[in-house]
Amino acid sequence: MAGKTSHITGIVARGNKLIIRLTSPEGDFLSQLALPPFCAVPSDTPAKPNLRPVPASAGPYYVTSYTPRQGFMLARNPNYHGDRPHRFAHVEFIARVPAARSVNQIESGTADYTNLGAFFYAFTPAIRDLAARLNERYGAESARAARGAQQYFVNPTPELHYLALNTHRRLFSDVRLRQAVNYAIDRPELAERGFGDQPMPGPTADHYLTPGMPGYRAADVYPPRPDLARARQLVQSAHARGSTAVLYVGQIPPNPDLAQIVKNDLGAIGIHVQIKIFPVTPFFKRLATPGEPFDLAIGGWIVDYPDPSQLLNVLLDGSAGIPSFNDPADQRRLAAAERLSGPQRYLTYGELDLDLARNAAPLAAFAITSSNDFDSARIGCQTYGVYGMDLGALCIKGSQHR
């Protein structure tokens, strides 16, 4: 990594076996090895390939053609003998198709799949309305779903939305006030507005590991709707009624609207919120500046790979660009969990997640980003993975291959 050696030590290839010796324990090493950068490619593959020719693939499909900004073609890899599903002989991806057009093509049977989240960089209220229509007509609560013909799927992704509570300042150094915020915020209302650059409604969250993450446990840590009586009791016991909390927010819709909801919610329990809105780049710089005078911030974090440390440790040790959780004892618990491996790692993180959210409340989680997938009527075998729909597992209904 420092550029002082001509080759990597500790890695040996013997036949079809790769042996890697680490200098220290890495409990999430297997999760890291599953990332695309570790995919086996020919030894002469350039560091920055221009995809002409396309590097060989070690997965169930390979790229047969690629046109920049237009799309690419995949074909089933005849040399793949693993257990990942690959039911289609060929797959054609077409890029940059407007959302409404892609939906029309799927409804008319000339296309088979789209993900509305793919359009979030140019998100408009029209796409949000389109998603609502699809959910009503083809979603889990529709008449189609009742007869086993669901076509629209909304699933959580490993992206958590939260209020960062700055425990390095006086107000939220008191755990009672952190818990009061968690009891006071209206999670369904916040989740309905979406977050940041993908303002699609998503599932609510009241703890920190997301569904599908190893160690995740389905549990209700806080009531689904605000418990203002309990929140006011906590504020009263901390003698904090009438206090002012400074809330930082980035200037990207709908985040300023979320800030106003938080202001109203905390105002109802006697905490006055002063909102300060910044352009996105200065916003993140301020959050990462030690001693910056804010008490709350609206944030979101998506994991780099599916391991619980990528949420708990990264969000609470300062790695995510927000102030670290100022509690040495809990930081030691997080560090100890990170050294574990195997099932014990995930069991420990699952317990730690719920305990931290309930008893330490270093964040106030409120929502999870959703993956919004729309399939044609002939597509089946829908399977949810950590990052959303498993496209390789899809099939033509009544058939395993095409």
How many angstroms separate the most distant Cα atoms in the chain? 70
Q: What are the φ and ψ backbone dihedral angles of 13, each rounded to 5 degrees?
A: -105, 125
How many CB atoms are located within 10 Å of the residue 145 CB?
15
Each residue's pLDDT tens digit, 87-128: 899 999 998 888 889 999 999 999 999 988 654 434 567 887
The whole-number average pLDDT for the span 220-248 is 97
Q: Are 134 and 390 in contact, with CB atoms under 8 Å apart?
A: no
List the domains of the chain with CATH numbers: 46-96 (no CATH), 108-155+372-396 (no CATH), 156-369 (3.10.105.10)
For residues 327 and 321, give the distance between their C-alpha atoms in angstroms, rounded to a whole number. 17
End-to-end CA distance of the chain: 45
Each residue's pLDDT tens digit, 246-292: 999 999 888 999 999 999 999 999 999 999 999 999 999 999 999 99
Each residue's pLDDT tens digit, 202-226: 789 999 999 989 999 999 999 999 9
Lowest mean pLDDT, pick from 305-314, 332-341, 376-385 = 376-385
Q: What are the φ and ψ backbone dihedral angles of 59, each rounded to 5 degrees?
A: -100, -170
Q: Is the pLDDT of residue 402 over 50?
A: no
Question: Which amino acid is residue 148, in one-letter code?
Answer: G
pLDDT confidence of residue 371: 85
Task: Please state, for a pLDDT cut of 70, what percent of the chain lies above it.
Answer: 92
Each residue's pLDDT tens digit, 387-400: 778 888 899 987 65
The whole-number average pLDDT for the span 325-349 is 96
Cα dihedral 186, 181, 308, 197 sign: positive
Cα dihedral 234, 349, 290, 252 sign: negative
More confident residue, 392 or 228: 228
Question: Which amino acid is residue 324, in one-letter code?
Answer: S
More confident residue, 337 or 201: 337
Cα 308 versus chain centre, distance: 12
For residues 392 and 171, give the distance between their C-alpha atoms in angstroms, rounded to a whole number. 49
The whole-number average pLDDT for the span 294-305 is 94
pLDDT confidence of residue 153: 92
User: What residues does 12 pair with on adjacent strands?
Assistant: 19
Question: Which amino acid is residue 266, in one-letter code?
Answer: L
Each residue's pLDDT tens digit, 152-172: 998 888 999 999 999 999 999
Task: Please state, for a pLDDT cut of 90, what percent of the chain lies above it.
Answer: 63
How many CB atoms are located within 10 Å of the residue 130 CB?
19
- Which pLDDT band, with edges at 50, 70 and 90, does 57 fall under? low
How many CB atoms are located within 10 Å of the residue 228 CB?
14
Q: What is the DSSP letter of 324?
A: P
For residues 150 and 389, give the distance between their C-alpha atoms in angstroms, rounded to a whole number. 14
Q: Is the pLDDT of residue 296 over 90?
A: yes
The whole-number average pLDDT for the span 79-91 is 89
64-77 exposure pattern, b = at least 16 Cβ within 10 A, e = fewer: eebeeeeebebebb
What kind and span of H or E run contains 293? none
Q: Is the pLDDT of residue 36 over 80?
A: no
| Top-ranked range on mean pLDDT: pick from 28-37, 46-55, 91-100, 183-192 | 183-192
Question: Which amino acid is residue 272, in one-letter code?
Answer: H
